[in-house]
Amino acid sequence: VIVGVASAPQPQERRVALVPELVKKYEALGAKVVMAAGAARRAHWADEAFPGVEIVPEPAEVFRRAQLVLCVQPPLDEELALMPEGSVLVGALQPWASRERVELLLERRITAFALELLPRISRAQSMDILSSQATVAGYEAALIAADHSPKFFPMLTYAAGTIRPAKVLVIGAGVAGLQAIATARRLGAAVEAYDVRPETREQVESLGAKFLDTGVRAVGEGGYARELTEEEKAIQAEKLGKAVGQADALITTASIPGRPAPRIITAEMIARMRPGAVVVDLAAETGGNVEGTVPGEKTWVGEVLLIGPTFVPSRMPVHASEMFSKNVFNFVSLFLREGSLALAWDDEVLAGTCMTHAGELKSERVRQWLG
Ligand code: NAD
């Protein structure tokens, strides 16, 4: 079987779905790998770093030739159109984002595994791109906040006095939020954090941060957060408003699977922040937790800087690619054996991750998301 590594279409995307150390592992499963020239260059790997991989001049050739394509971003529709009927696509496919893409996958009878759909059971943890990339994003969010803050994060004593640690408030204590908390703590900030899932209290406290309790609990399907009612939103806003007003840096990471990000921080709360305060909205790409953040931009609102970073894992492309590629490889090893693709549909991980197969939409969640 020929495994193709897609080149991401966006220039801001620096990750790649294969790192050199995995080439031999794919070969051991009986695969031959093809990749376009320069596909890993933005993650600092030259073509020569991939011995055994056939380097082809054009990204399109990868889609034409491979029976299994690996990707860090959904391919363009014209690239999907090049894939042979019945071939397999594995990677981050943003299954909620485009009805046209799903229709094309159905029409081309492509078996598409969107790793965003991966069941979050313990056996699948080593394949979980959402967790690995959220780890990178959370770490980066804390660094972006520190970098743009006009204040030190740590407490410092110097010859003429003492500097108090910065106050960092983190909203959403999932994988990204917890990593942002841990990173801000390592930099010495005083951290406070909030989530609607009650079990996050212990996780937040174990990182040396303070849990901000608004009294609002909102656990929905599969242990994930659900959307809040209007009444809950009002209670949350009141409690959060005060904490936001005292923060030197606010990092927001809240999201609900398949839904636009919840709008938690209002313009009014931002107006109450201290001059020089920094806001990093990790949810900017999916609608934003903060009123006024613009994806990919830095915006001043009075003396408060709002940052809506995009392509965040690409800020650390080496380790983000390594983590992503290993997740993908672990997933692919479920069905790539002795050079052939053996899809065992009784495997709940495989079945749960499948978006389309043989012209059929296989995911109930995707059906709901696309309405
Ligand atoms: P996510 O990216 O979907 O959401 C981030 C956080 O935002 C979540 O903690 C959510 O509770 C929070 N949130 C949503 N709405 C909010 C609101 N209005 N106000 C405040 N916070 C809000 O979540 P995630 O990080 O991908 O995962 C969440 C949890 O799932 C993890 O912390 C973990 O417990 C669990 N998980 C389990 C596995 C597994 O394999 N068993 C793998 C990964 C994650």
Q: Is 261 in the pocket of ligand 1 (CB under 6 A)?
A: no
The ipTM value here is 0.94
Q: Is 74 exposed, middle or buried (0-12, 13-18, 19+ CB in 10 A)?
A: buried
Active site residues: 120, 125, 128, 131, 224
Q: What is the model's pLDDT at position 260?
A: 85
228 lines ligand 1 (CB under 6 A): yes
Closest atom of ligand 1 to 134 CA is 25
Under a CB-based contact definition with an 8 Å cutoff, are residues 237 and 244 in contact?
no
pLDDT of residue 300: 98
Q: Would you state the pLDDT for residue 266?
A: 95
User: How far does the centroid of ligand 1 lie from the alpha carbon of residue 255, in Å?
Assistant: 7
- As a residue count, the chain comes to 371
Q: How confident is the model at residue 77, as a pLDDT? A: 95
Q: What is the pLDDT of residues 324-333, one digit of tens each?
A: 999 999 999 9
**Nearest ligand 1 atom to alpha carbon 264:** 18
- In this predicted structure, what is the pLDDT of residue 258? 73
Count CB neighbours of 142 within 10 A: 26
pTM (predicted TM-score): 0.96
Residue nearest to atom 16 of ligand 1 (CA): 254
Residue 202 burial by Cβ neighbours in a 10 Å radius (0-12, 13-18, 19+): exposed
Output the pLDDT for position 369: 87
Q: What is the pLDDT of residue 224?
A: 83
What is the per-residue pLDDT for 152?
Answer: 98
Residue 15's nearest CA partner among 55, 43, 44, 50 is 43
The reply to whether ligand 1 has any atom less than 6 angstroms from the CB of 288 is no
| pLDDT for position 289 | 97
Q: Can you give the three-state secondary structure of the chain, one letter per residue?
A: CEEEECCCCCCCCCCCCCCHHHHHHHHHCCCEEEEECCCCHHHCCCHHHCCCCEEECCHHHHHHHCCEEEECCCCCHHHHCCCCCCCEEEECCCCCCCHHHHHHHHHCCCEEEEHHHCCCCHHHHHHCHHHHHHHHHHHHHHHHHHHHCCCCCCCEEECCEEECCCEEEEECCCHHHHHHHHHHHHCCCEEEEECCCCCHHHHHHHCCCEECCCCCCCECHHHCECCCCHHHHHHHHHHHHHHHHHCCEEEECCCCCCCCCCCCECHHHHHCCCCCCEEEECCHHHCCCECCCCCCCEEEECCEEEECCCCHHHHCHHHHHHHHHHHHHHHHCCCEECCEECCCCCCHHHHHHEEEECCEECCHHHHHHHC
CB 97 within 8 A of CB 74: yes
**Which residue's alpha carbon is nearest to atom 31 within ligand 1?**
174
348 Cα: distance to centroid of ligand 1 (angstroms) = 21
Please give the distance, rounded to the nearest whole angstrom, from the Cα atom of residue 219 to the centre of ligand 1.
10
Q: How many C-beta atoms lie closer than 10 Å to residue 370's C-beta?
A: 16
Q: Is the CB of 87 under 6 A from ligand 1?
A: no
In short, whether 229's Cβ falls inside 6 Å of ligand 1 is no
Binding site membership of 263 for ligand 1 (Cβ less than 6 Å):
no
Nearest CA to ligand 1 atom 28: 174
Low-confidence ranges of the chain (pLDDT < 50): none
What spacing in Å lies between the alpha carbon of 131 and ligand 1's midpoint?
9
Instruction: Output the pLDDT for position 259.
Output: 78
Cα-flanking dihedrals φ and ψ of residue 259, to 5°? -120, 160
